[in-house]
Amino acid sequence: MEKLAVIRTPLATSVIASLLTSLIVSLGACAAKPTQEPVAPEIPRPPGLPQFEQGVKALENEQYGEAARIFDRLLVAKPAAEHDLITSFNSGAAYEGLGNCSKAADRYREVTRGSAGKFGRVESLAFFRLSLMYECLGQDVKAVTALLDARKRGRDLPFTTRQAEIPARLAAGYARIGNRKKALEYFAQANAGLKKIVSAESGRQQADIFAQSVFLMGQLNPGQRRAEGDPVAFLQSLSMQQPYLLQAVESGHPIWSGRAAADLELAYDNIWKYKFSEPEKQSAFYTQALQVTRELKQIKMPNENAAAGAIFAKVDATESRLNIETAKVGETNKLTPEAQKREGLRRDGRLVTPAKPAAQKKRR
């Protein structure tokens, strides 16, 4: 898919930096017992179905293959009742856990079509998860559309998903399709939503909800983790996601900080997995990657913790290598002999004896 435009990072960076500065919240030490990240948001469970409960337990234990087998056995050809839709949803969650974004998307689409406005909660959650699967598949326009559909049904979504996660994913989605104006608009909305979420809590609970929220707002999708899809879109999306991941790292939370650090490290490792046959495109990719590293360094906090320090050491190493690789690409991309002649300071030709100036008449 041809990208409409690359976000011009100097402007984007300044706006992002100012938004993040206004977002800084003083958080106390977070010693609360962290909650485990769910594969998908919790939804109602149909009562009296032992096999269904076995599938849920497999999901909770991250036994995704077993969960997929159980829920697939419970599927019906045309899901219409709520418990049928929940079964399809959980099957999608299982395939999402397996990294099978295509199959998971099929299941979530079954839910949205089968519900058709009748079961708001499961339908809205399905649209949100479907958007993440479209992200994974590199179908960015569909991802944005699914997010907007989920947003329309926002009253049935968790508060954090509605206020922060959806705007953050919309910012990344619009960035990938080259709409800088919309990307920054939703980035601002995500930060405003995050303020509401954090201000509603206090103490340890505030620290927990902040760290979890910023991680979920910036986490990599399965396609990004595998370095799949359009490389330019990868960098455009990372530009919007990495500020949230950095905040999660800086929070020092015992769960979300580590997960965010792992995502950031993987993202910067994956830069080297994108290869181009044309040196000009490789050079342009490395140049844009350099811009992304500098964006992150621009929002670096002065008193960083050890985890953030390790991230910036990684970013510095990546920046140094990018500079070297960009220079190498420039050296190998030599001009043709014809181009060298055009660009050279000395031109081929013949010497010409200059004409003598005309004799001037003497004045009387």
The closest of 81, 32, 221, 39 to 138, measured between CA atoms, is: 221
Q: Do 31 and 204 form a contact (C-beta atoms < 8 A)? A: yes
Which amino acid is residue 273, in one-letter code?
A: K
| CA quadruple 212, 214, 220, 221: dihedral, nearest 10 | 70
Encoded tokens for 77: 């050809």
Task: Identify the pLDDT of residue 302.
Answer: 87
Q: Are 286 and 268 in contact (CB under 8 A)?
A: no
Please state which of the ranges 39-43, 196-200, 354-358 shows the lowest mean pLDDT.
Answer: 39-43
**What's the pLDDT tens digit per position in 15-46?**
343 344 333 333 332 333 333 344 445 555 55
* Residues 57-73 pLDDT 10s: 999 999 999 999 999 99
Neighbouring residues of 187: CB distance < 8 A, sequence distance ≥ 6: 15, 16, 19, 167, 168, 171, 240
State how far the Cα of 195 lies from the Cα of 211, in Å rounded to an integer: 12
Q: Is the pTM of this model over 0.85?
A: no
Which positions ≥6 away from 59 have C-beta within 8 Å? 39, 67, 90, 93, 94, 97
Q: What is the DSSP string of 300-338?
A: --SS--HHHHHHHHHHHHHHHHHHHHHHHHHHHSPPPHH
Mean pLDDT of 119-129: 94
| List of residues 6+ apart from 198 with CB closer than 8 A | 25, 206, 209, 210, 213
- Cβ(289)–Cβ(227) under 8 Å? no
Q: What is the largest CA-CA distance in the chain?
A: 125
Residue 280: alpha-carbon gap to chain centroid = 25
What would the pLDDT profile of 85-106 be if each residue is shown by its tens digit?
999 999 999 999 998 999 999 9
Question: Distance (Å, rounded) from C-alpha 178 to C-alpha 152?
Answer: 23
DSSP per position, 257-290: HHHHHHHHHHHHHHGGG---SSHHHHHHHHHHHH
Helix or strand holding residue 351 (H, E): none
Confidence (pLDDT) at 6: 28
Single-letter residue type at 137: L
In the chain, pLDDT over 70 holds for what percent of residues?
77
- DSSP string for residues in 181-238: HHHHHHHHHHHHHHHHHHHT--HHHHHHHHHHHHHHHHPPPHHHHTT-S-HHHHHHHH
pLDDT in tens, 327-350: 987 665 554 556 555 545 444 554
Report the candidate in 160, 265, 254, 172 with the shortest Cα–Cα distance to residue 216.
160
